[in-house]
Structure 1
């Protein structure tokens, strides 16, 4: 008997599992590898964050259509719309905040070669954490 679980549901479960694995790798990664991972994850266009934002936006649009057809309560569509908007805002804020640090992340992810020696060593500084609500 074939598996009745639709492919997309299985795909979503596989992606969730993959994110768990990526989290474990990131937690144990040396600095260069961690910088490469974060660079790929935080990319607002082609990274995990950008793609998750597009997925939520698509889910929001579908929920809105289903709500208009009476298949979902309007509150569900509104909640998904707010979530998609918040995620987009987070991605935009993060992209703006990281713009000034892209070179540092790139430098850490791609160590200098003999042909391109490092100019100066980075200096430790206090971390500033901002929370938007």
Structure 2
């Protein structure tokens, strides 16, 4: 069951504007950042990178999931991308996105995230992955 506080958090989170980065970088990164669009995200599982995260942009909530593959004994190298119907609750995200169609996939790479890999994600790359879908 979704708490009122969680709904408020994601409502505020979904209204935050997508913005260009404001961090220092070298020349090639600056050129890349001129077209980059960043948005904050929430994540639940982390191993080198966020493994399941939710990001709001373009008036939708997107789920990116790169779960642990028991058979291969490693995390997935690509995120699957799904559109969520509602914000996740404060409990387990284990079944989040279950039964929803995959609309794209995206490699789990450093360029996708801010320096910390815990605050912002490039939504321009997510959009491109969805369009290639």
What is the TM-score of this pair, normalised by structure 1?
Answer: 0.30
Higher strand share: 2
Higher helix share: 1
Structure (1 or 2) with the larger CA radius of gyration: 1
TM-score, length-normalised on structure 2?
0.30
